[in-house]
């Protein structure tokens, strides 16, 4: 297929194809964008300057999940957000906030639940997890994560998921307390008008997440009229 139209249109085309690859093949965003760009360019053009950015990709992914996946995606979001709320309650002493795809609605079955924690000592978080008998792994935070001390990853125990569903990965990024006072940057916020205000905000506290779950349940019980 030949690239058509202007740069913005081409970005939307790439994002739409990449969204399908992410959902159907489990590819990460970077892989999906490259494959989609190669399919459109036919291997004859450099596409780096027209690859969609994160917000464009997230919007395309949400559109695909809403229109193609539908009800199973709604159920998945509910499950992931419920698990997030459970762990935020258990880790409440570390000021947890939900961030990422589970918050903004672009999560797939391969998406981890990402929580930001704020504490003087990352070892305190590790001790809290050990008390819960959690088998976790610790890694260095990615570059550009100011005030981040470490990333802790683990899988949700089988008792917290249905027998026929895959484990849920939890990623805890542990920050120094001063980072809590910094509002989420514009890069973490979404401008998608179809999102709930809490989904757009970039990060959500436990009360905010509970409100989002309540509002989502209400919306499911009272879908908009087709008239």
pLDDT tens digits along 125-160: 999 999 999 999 999 988 766 789 999 999 985 444
Tokens of 162: 């249905």
Please, which pLDDT band fits residue 83 given cuts at 50, 70 and 90? very high
Residue 103 banded pLDDT, cuts 50, 70, 90: very high
Average pLDDT of every residue of the chain: 85
Res 45 pLDDT > 90: no
Buried b (16+ CB within 10 A) or exposed e, 90-119: ebeebbbbbbbbbbbbbbbeebbbbbbbbb
Residue 4: per-residue pLDDT: 46
Which band of pLDDT confidence, cut at 50, 70 and 90, is reported for residue 115?
A: very high
- The pLDDT of residue 216 is 87
Of 7 and 60, more confident: 60
pLDDT number for residue 136? 96
User: For position 109, what pLDDT does the model report?
Assistant: 86
Q: Is the pLDDT of residue 114 over 60?
A: yes
- Answer yes or no: is pLDDT of 28 > 80: yes
Q: Give all strands of the β-sheet with 169-175 in edge-to-edge order.
A: 97-99, 113-118, 169-175, 148-155, 137-139
């Amino acid at each position: 297929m030949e690239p058509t139209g202007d740069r913005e249109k081409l970005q939307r085309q790439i994002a739409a194809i990449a969204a399908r690859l992410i959902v159907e093949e489990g590819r990460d965003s970077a892989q999906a964008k490259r494959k989609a760009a190669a399919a459109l360019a036919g291997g004859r053009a450099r596409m780096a300057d027209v690859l969609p950015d994160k917000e464009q990709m997230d919007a395309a992914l949400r559109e695909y999940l809403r229109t193609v996946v539908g009800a199973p995606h709604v159920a998945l979001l509910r499950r992931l957000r419920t698990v997030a709320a459970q762990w935020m309650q258990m880790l409440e002493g570390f000021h947890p906030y939900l961030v990422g795809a589970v918050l903004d609605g672009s999560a797939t079955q391969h998406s981890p639940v990402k929580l930001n924690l704020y504490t003087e000592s990352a070892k305190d978080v590790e001790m809290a997890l050990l008390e819960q008998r959690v088998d976790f792994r610790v890694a260095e935070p990615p570059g550009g994560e100011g005030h981040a001390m470490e990333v802790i990853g683990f899988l949700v125990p089988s008792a917290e998921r249905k027998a026929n569903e895959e484990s849920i990965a939890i990623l805890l990024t542990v920050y120094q307390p001063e980072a809590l006072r910094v509002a989420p940057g514009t890069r973490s916020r979404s401008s998608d008008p179809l999102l709930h205000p809490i989904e757009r905000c970039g990060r959500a506290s436990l009360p905010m997440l509970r409100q989002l779950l309540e509002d989502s349940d209400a919306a499911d019980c009272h879908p908009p009229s087709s008239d």
